[in-house]
Structure 1
Amino acid sequence: MTNRNTLLRGFALVFLFYTGLASAGETREYRSHQLDSGALTIALSDGSVTLTPLNDAALEVHYQRDGLKQLPSFAIDSDRPQRTAAAKLTEGRDRLAYSLPGLTALIHKSPFRIEYLRRGRLLVGEESGFFGTETLRGFRFSLQPQEKLLGGGERVLGMDRRGQRLPLYNKAHYGYTTESKQMYFGLPAVMSSNKYLLLFDNSASGAMDLGAAEEDVLQFEAAAGRTSYIVVSGDSYPGLIEHYVDVTGRQPLPPRWALGNFASRFGYRTEKEVRHTVEKFADEDFPLDALVLDLYWFGPDVKGHMGNLAWDRNAFPEPEKMLADLKERGIQTILVTEPFVLTSSRRWDQAVAANALAKNLAGEPKRFDFFFGNTGLVDVFSEDGRDWFWNIYDGLYRQGVAGWWGDLGEPEVHPADTVHAIGTADEIHNAYGHRWAQLLFERQKENYPERRPFIMMRAGFAGSQRYGMIPWTGDVARDWGGLKPQVELSLQMGLLGFGYTHSDLGGFAGGEEFDREMYIRWLQYGVFQPVYRPHAQEEIAPEPVFHDRRTRDIVRDYIKLRYRLLPYNYTLAFENSQTGMPLMRPLFFENEKEIELIDYKDAYLWGDDFLVAPVTDSGVTEVTVKLPGGVWFDYWSDEPYSGDTAQVDVDLETIPVLVRAGAFIPTVDHLDNTRDYSSETLNLDYYAHPTAASSSGRIYEDDGQTVDAYGRGEYQMLEFNAERSADGIDFSFTSEGDGYDGAPEERHIRLNIHNWKPAPASVSVDGQQLRILERESDFEKATRGAWLEKSSGQLHIKFNWRGRPLELAVRH
């Protein structure tokens, strides 16, 4: 091993010699510095570097050298509210200290390098720092011995990616299972167990070497692109994410229907099939909120029609009426679109005339062959390309389309000699999906400012979340191997701003026979992932309504559970829009001292209060679940667990779902559609335990569609608190916000206190005693009162609440 490391270090020194940074007697040196509008620019012996505060805990560090082309920042949200960070510069004989409240850059003058500290503790430092030639550029950082690294976007490698070399070139991986180093959506960023985040703001083809070639060196390299990085710090992992999305942009709150059930397949071929599918969901008593149309909406075959982007009127004779009829039922329609325009499509000549396509080296529209035919590629970096593309979308919006599915946006095929308005394919490849999403988001915001975006895409760049991008994990295999990595993929993406990353439920690719058990397990897990969308090749129906009764009955109950959990799930979506906290969260957020929890990918937190462990193997009757500390209750049985692990029994109808002691879990009654959502009747399950002496919960509500409802004050935030004492539990209920259209004037609350024994001595609301009823039937008829369900140990309490502060006391 020593000889190998010595050899690798020798190769690295040779490499650095040829980049001009480590030749004999030549090192980068400080020359001078100046402050300008809070930014620090340092003149160097080989160029300059500018450190720009982005907030109190984040810096952009931009190296520049004559002859190296620079591209604009794609990662930084230029529209975010401008904040003046209180930067302080202290100069010593051999160093500068450039300090923000939450991050200090310690700048060594000779040889020049920068270290980053938080509250005096070293986070990370440049090794040799920036390197750059005409064909390769990047950065080198020193890694600490016990440091773990997450990030890099979608990969199936395990949570800790240290020791891996990660290609940075968005690329399809059809039918992947339990290992993939290169996939649809890479990200040039890492999060460290030392609580810093490094983002390389470079869209070009490249790689991140996370200690693979040299175990103590993190190296980013790219063929071209912007020579800058962003360093972010935080006191906690959630705090680190919040500082990061403050820089790269927060995900806007999606429409509430995005949290409902989707009908989707590859693909619905006719309007008749669409209508039949929708009726089948209704006949089988399955809630439904959206229907996704794959490429047959614009052509009868897989090949030859991409780029038409207009209804095939033979198969869909009355699309406007179909869209209107679906909307009347509360069902939104999402259309697939691709950025490729085939030379055989009806729009090829139009696209050429509009100057909408990327060019070849002769300045003509670039043509190339791929699976779907001979094609060109829309240049989303050019104003002409964006205008042409948007005109198509705008016409479909006006017909009633509610959202977009952008497919093949890596782009799936992107020849290196393709020339875009701002650079070649290799310079901007990884930002293609990003600019595509930006086009849709900004033009919709301009033309339809009252509509929340729904933009589902499988490729983008750091910061794409600010354009409402909802990623999915691509064409996963339809087998147990495809199910296994889905938690890892969503967790990794969520750490870097993409809190809505989800999978094709049931798997997409392959599968000759229907595996009922695997299918059920995947759709059970889907209840606790951001988007509920079964999707697959059509040889086996992805929709549960087309399967056997046993499958339908189990899956129906889970989908209905997802709808009952809408107040909880919508609150998670709101929190994500404010702080960047992902909906799916790793367990190490709960116990940062247990660094080994970083490696754990078999379970996760759904919000703060659920712990979910998908079943990913056949024939399982018991699952061992790691616990992050504290007491947890089985959601199905109320059995308590504590310690390091829980042994959870399962059958085909259950997966391990645990609830935190002290949690409030809000639910509503049965819904057929999110359009009918109301919290007028609200169930609150409170999980009492002596270890949860004080706890709280909240529900965010608005009308589900108004853009920036929170900023406008058109919302209600319902807050619940519980304080335990020797006498019992005191609950308080408060609300804030100006309300919204459709908000209940009064809510009928059913508070279910789990783990309560024996019968209460008294229950009072604002000092008024409630009757304690003996029989369940009397309790169900009553509008106010309490009843102890002795068999389950649950105390049920009914009362009405008009939103004013309310106190409820339960005494032993």
Structure 2
Amino acid sequence: MITNTELEYKGNLYPNKIVSLKQDADKVFFTSENGVVLQITVLRDSVLRFRYATDYVFEPDFSYAISEDANKGYNRLEVIEQDTEYIIETEKLKILVDINTMRTQISDLEGNIINEDELGFHWEENYQYGGNTVKMSKITQSSESFYGMGDKATHSNLKGKRVHNWVTDQYAYGKDQDPLYKAIPFYIGLHNNKAYGIFFDNTFKSYFDFSHERRNTTSFWADGGEMNYYFFYGPDMPKVVRGYTDLTGTPELPPLWALGYHQSKWSYYPESRVKEVAKSFRDLRIPCDAIYLDIDYMDGFRCFTWDKTKFPDPKRMVDELFEDGFKTVTMIDPGIKVDPDYWVYQEAMEKDYFCKRADGPYMNGKVWPGKCNFPDFTNPEVREWWAELYKEMMSEVGVHGMWNDMNEPAIMEVPGKTAPLDMRHDYDGNPCSHRKAHNIYGMQMVRATYEGVKKHVYPKRPFVITRAAYSGTQRYSSTWTGDNVATWEHLWIANVQMQRMCLSGMSFVGSDIGGFAEQPNGELFARWIQLGVFHPFCRVHSSGDHGDQEPWSFDPEVTDIVRKFVELRYQLLPYLYTMFWKYSKEKMPMLKSLAYFDQEDSQTHFRTDEFIFGEHILVCPVQEPNAKGRRMYIPRGKWFNFWTEEVVDGGTEKWVTADIDKIPLFIKEGAMIPKYPVQQYVGEKEIKELVIDVYYKLGTESSTVYEDAQDGYDYAKGRYSLRNFKLVGKETQLSIQQFKSGTYITSYETIKLNLHGLPFKIKEVSIDNEKVFLKDIKHNGTNSIVISKDFTGLNIKGK
């Protein structure tokens, strides 16, 4: 361990010698001579919490990020005192705390160092605002890589980067521009094939330096609050991500239509234009489930109102759209127009629900309606009031989803683009300034929105989308990456952002397909659609001031390509829904970067373009114009080219042909990919047969299909269908076992298995140990077998 030589260095203060130790159940407290208290909490054998107090006093222990459902409990906690250090041991980890400096070192039980302090905890008094700037520095391990941090428009591996977290309305941002719309202070470190994670749960403006200033040091600090961070040990990256995601929570299952294709623009109005767009989708047979209404549907941009000139009868319009399969999603912003005749403003004034400046006056800011006040969503009473405002929109007009925008909060014509730092907040009974509440303002707004939408669409499931977020926002809402630009560079950015967000616990995410600002050409739009259908949230959105951006806005070839890929997404809906179920229940990210997928292969550590969609589909977008293909890295194992069915060996870079109508797409051997028929919208067709594409493997592979009623809460009572498949391939044999649970009865009675890549001709088939006649097997270029959905075992022998 490094030892302190000075108590103060460059204005920073440091802990000195530990003089007392106290244990209270899962917490161990170390106190130094100069009043620093380190509290180490063992949440699980591989999850630790570190809190530091100065002057002996901890702040109230409160966090918006932590899920009430987070798992807790450990198998062992032992504290050992030695001459120069204290040791805390769990079943997985050993934590050394240096007696003279309070620096910590975390290793596995074999003695491999996972993470250790460099200067460790230090602080500097903030004379301008009071309190401390709190700091932590760690030793960067040999060949260490860094991932995560949410919404960052930069390389997936953060080694050598410095980033910071301050939720910002960053219109038409560029590559490496920072900060953006979300603050997710969580990163993953990977070295010597061991992964760990650190979540710095501090809502003040925070900073992370990944060996940027000093190549052997990783550090993070914040402008106020506590040094309070959680440590997650793998050693596999999936365990780290699961640990963080469990701590901060996952969403409930969305309605299946929320995973369909969505169309948006700033703005679709009047009603006749909305109907025209809807009709074009159906006439051109391009599947679509949702149409969005941006701010122009409102009366003078007053939230919770309708412009009756543009939309004379909103309920009738919403009902008519729904009859044709379209769900309506409307936007609500936080800024409430200062207007004594406006009922929302009147109510908030009467109840004193608007944020105030430090000296007492209401905080005013200019947004779309002009002069606005802003509800204090950190006040639970305000959240309850806000939730009830959705009653008319959801239960009476019949709107299906809600979209919260501008909730950083974004404020026009002020230098910082947001509220002044002296704005006051209740913070759930912990009063504070906007310095502390800024990063969670949008999160608490969408939390209130979620509660209101959930109440007023019941017994259906809520669908909510937000632009601003802090860690844990995924419990309430989906999100997108804000106001991007119609450029090839932004196609690359979108790809990296989605992978990073999924690694950071927030999987229900997408980008504005085609770009929000400026105008894409047909080729860029086609390539972006090809990528966007493999993102969890799939929506085209544009600013509209540069022309139309619907699938038919380009040439017929582009329209055909868009239709082809949107149809593919709809076919893959059961696969996508299963991905979401695994994310919600098992904390598994819906998209996986290659480093997450195979951390042992160092070739994956700096890959940005390729990702795994779910568990079995490898995707790599084409990200430059006029390309007939691209070089890409195929991870280790054997993979089927989706288009040609050629089997390729991974662990190397390959040239893959992909003209304008294709994207490089590979299926992992052994995978069983479920498919539905193409529908123009979710629920258009009754599913009469589940199709499963089976990809042969010499060896064993597992696959899952989760299904339920696609909306509502019966699934929570056990009314779901979970099929777990185990595939075992031998040289002249293929067997599939099905293990089924849940009480949901699917609409189909049969499963059609399409067999890909069989290395033998079928000679004999037995189902549940009974031989069947070969006439039941259809030969149509590929082998396909129609089988009862309730089969438990299928065995195919060849010659």
TM-score by length of 2: 0.91
Unaligned runs of 5+ in 2: 126-130, 411-417
Among 99, 104, 120, the alignment partner of 1:109 is 99
Among 341, 363, 366, the alignment partner of 1:366 is 363
Q: Which position in structure 2 is the counterpart of 1:404?
A: 402
Q: Which position in structure 2 is the counterpart of 1:628?
A: 635
Q: Which amino acid aligns with 2:579?
A: L
Q: Which amino acid aligns with 2:325?
A: G
Moved more, 764-773 or 408-417: 764-773
Q: Which position in structure 1 is the counterpart of 2:784?
A: 796
Alignment of 1:23-172 (within 5 A): 27-45=15-33, 46-66=35-55, 72-80=62-70, 82-83=72-73, 86-119=76-109, 120-132=111-123, 133=125, 134-172=131-169
Q: Residues 697 and 719 of structure 1 are in contact (CA less than 8 Å); yes or no, is this contact kept in structure 2?
A: yes
Q: Residues 46 and 233 of structure 2 are in contact (CA less than 8 Å); yes or no, is this contact kept in structure 1?
A: yes
Alignment of 1:37-436 (within 5 A): 37-45=25-33, 46-66=35-55, 72-80=62-70, 82-83=72-73, 86-119=76-109, 120-132=111-123, 133=125, 134-194=131-191, 195-299=195-299, 305-343=300-338, 346=342, 347-369=344-366, 373-399=370-396, 400-412=398-410, 413-421=418-426, 422-436=431-445
1:717 equivalent in alignment to 2:717: no
Return closer, same or farther for 1:761/1:203 CA change in 2, 3 Å cut-off: same
Q: Which position in structure 1 is the counterpart of 2:566?
A: 559
Distance in 1 between residues matched to 2:554 and 2:160, nearest whole Å: 44
Distance in 1 between residues matched to 2:734 and 2:683, nearest whole Å: 36
Distance in 2 between residues matched to 1:60 and 1:395, nearest whole Å: 44
Q: Residues 146 and 188 of structure 2 are in contact (CA less than 8 Å); yes or no, is this contact kept in structure 1?
A: yes
Q: Residues 34 and 40 of structure 1 are in contact (CA less than 8 Å); yes or no, is this contact kept in structure 2?
A: yes
Deviation, structure 1 residue 584: 1.2
Q: Residues 159 and 599 of structure 1 are in contact (CA less than 8 Å); yes or no, is this contact kept in structure 2?
A: yes
Distance in 2 between residues matched to 1:751 and 1:610, nearest whole Å: 18
Q: Residues 568 and 665 of structure 1 are in contact (CA less than 8 Å); yes or no, is this contact kept in structure 2?
A: yes
User: What CA RMSD, in Å, does the superposition of the two structures yield over aligned residues?
Assistant: 2.4
Distance in 1 between residues matched to 2:387 and 2:714, nearest whole Å: 23
Q: Which amino acid aligns with 1:761?
A: K
Q: Residues 204 and 225 of structure 2 are in contact (CA less than 8 Å); yes or no, is this contact kept in structure 1?
A: yes
Q: Residues 387 and 451 of structure 2 are in contact (CA less than 8 Å); yes or no, is this contact kept in structure 1?
A: no
Secondary structure of the residue that 1:557 maps to in structure 2?
A: helix
Return closer, same or farther for 1:392/1:447 CA change in 2, 3 Å cut-off: closer
1:786 equivalent in alignment to 2:774: no
Return closer, same or farther for 1:13/1:378 CA change in 2, 3 Å cut-off: farther
Deviation, structure 1 residue 276: 2.0
Deviation, structure 1 residue 620: 0.4
Return closer, same or farther for 1:88/1:155 CA change in 2, 3 Å cut-off: same
Q: Residues 342 and 376 of structure 1 are in contact (CA less than 8 Å); yes or no, is this contact kept in structure 2?
A: yes
Return closer, same or farther for 1:14/1:130 CA change in 2, 3 Å cut-off: closer
Deviation string 1:60-87 (CA, Å, 9 cap, x unpaired) is 2111224775572222213435545542
Q: Which position in structure 1 is the counterpart of 2:415?
A: none
Moved more, 125-134 or 550-559: 125-134
Deviation, structure 1 residue 219: 2.1
Q: Residues 354 and 388 of structure 1 are in contact (CA less than 8 Å); yes or no, is this contact kept in structure 2?
A: no
Deviation, structure 1 residue 546: 4.2
Q: Which position in structure 2 is the counterpart of 1:517?
A: 523
Deviation, structure 1 residue 626: 0.1
Among 651, 654, 659, the alignment partner of 1:651 is 659
Deviation, structure 1 residue 489: 0.6
Q: Which position in structure 1 is the counterpart of 2:413?
A: none
Secondary structure of the residue that 1:153 maps to in structure 2?
A: coil
TM-score by length of 1: 0.90
Distance in 1 between residues matched to 2:9 and 2:185, nearest whole Å: 21
Unaligned runs of 5+ in 1: 1-9, 22-26, 300-304, 774-784
Secondary structure of the residue that 2:465 maps to in structure 1?
A: strand
Q: Residues 335 and 367 of structure 2 are in contact (CA less than 8 Å); yes or no, is this contact kept in structure 1?
A: no
Deviation, structure 1 residue 349: 4.2
> How many residue pairs get matched?
768
Deviation string 1:431-470 (CA, Å, 9 cap, x unpaired) is 1122222223345556666443322112211122122x21
Q: Which position in structure 1 is the counterpart of 2:749?
A: 747
Distance in 2 between residues matched to 1:685 and 1:446, nearest whole Å: 39
Q: Which position in structure 1 is the counterpart of 2:618?
A: 611
Distance in 1 between residues matched to 2:676 and 2:6, nearest whole Å: 63
Distance in 2 between residues matched to 1:139 and 1:678, nearest whole Å: 57
Q: Which position in structure 1 is the counterpart of 2:605?
A: 598
Among 463, 468, 471, the alignment partner of 1:459 is 468
Deviation, structure 1 residue 200: 0.7
Q: Which position in structure 2 is the counterpart of 1:688?
A: 696
Return closer, same or farther for 1:449/1:91 CA change in 2, 3 Å cut-off: farther
Among 791, 795, 799, the alignment partner of 1:808 is 795
Q: Residues 58 and 233 of structure 1 are in contact (CA less than 8 Å); yes or no, is this contact kept in structure 2?
A: yes
Moved more, 754-763 or 557-566: 754-763
